[in-house]
Amino acid sequence: MYNRGFTLIELMIVVAIVAILAAIAYPSYTSYKVRVQRTDAQAEMMQIARNLANFRMANNSYTGRTTTNVYGAATIPRTQPLYDITLTDVDGTLLTATNAKVRTWLLIAKPKAGTTQADNGWICLNDQGQRSWQKGVTACNLSASSNWDGR
């Protein structure tokens, strides 16, 4: 007679190997997910910038533009939001439908508390195409050399 099946020791070894692999893979996956969600937010911000540029071409100002009428929402993504977005003049004045002859803008995506993006830092973009993001930074440090890769 031949013994068929696995011994308890063999089964425990397989379980231990799977647990070790999961312990290594899960943090990598969550880090990847945070990066992808940030990249998606950056892509949405570029779409908002294109919409603003189109509006400026037609009207010679950004007057009347808000995040809601440019993007359709004040959060990124629109469903299950991870970021709150604000559209301001470069001096920080929130853009409203009544601002007179606004010619510059600053778009800021702030991570929502309690999400995977919390404490990940602000994503910033302005009308000159300057971008900034650094992990954990809650300010817009825009310059000709700033970028979205965190360096």
**pLDDT per residue over 1-21, tens digit each?**
567 778 899 999 999 999 999
Q: Which amino acid is at 16?
A: A
Query: Sheet containing 131-132: which strands, arranged edge to edge?
Result: 75-76, 83-88, 106-111, 123-126, 131-132
Give dist(CA 151, CA 147) in Å, integer.
Answer: 7
Say what the pLDDT of residue 72 is. 81
Per-residue pLDDT, 151? 65
pLDDT at residue number 100: 55
Alpha-carbon torsion, ordered 47, 121, 112, 78, to 10 deg: 10
> What are the residue boundaries of the structural domains of the chain, listed by start?
8-132
Written as one letter, the residue type at 54 is N
Residue 145's pLDDT is 87
- 85, 76 in Cβ contact below 8 A? yes
CB distance 86 to 67 below 8 Å: yes
pLDDT digits (tens, 9 = 90+) for 96-133: 666 656 778 899 999 999 998 998 899 999 989 999 99
Sign of CA dihedral 54, 58, 61, 64: negative
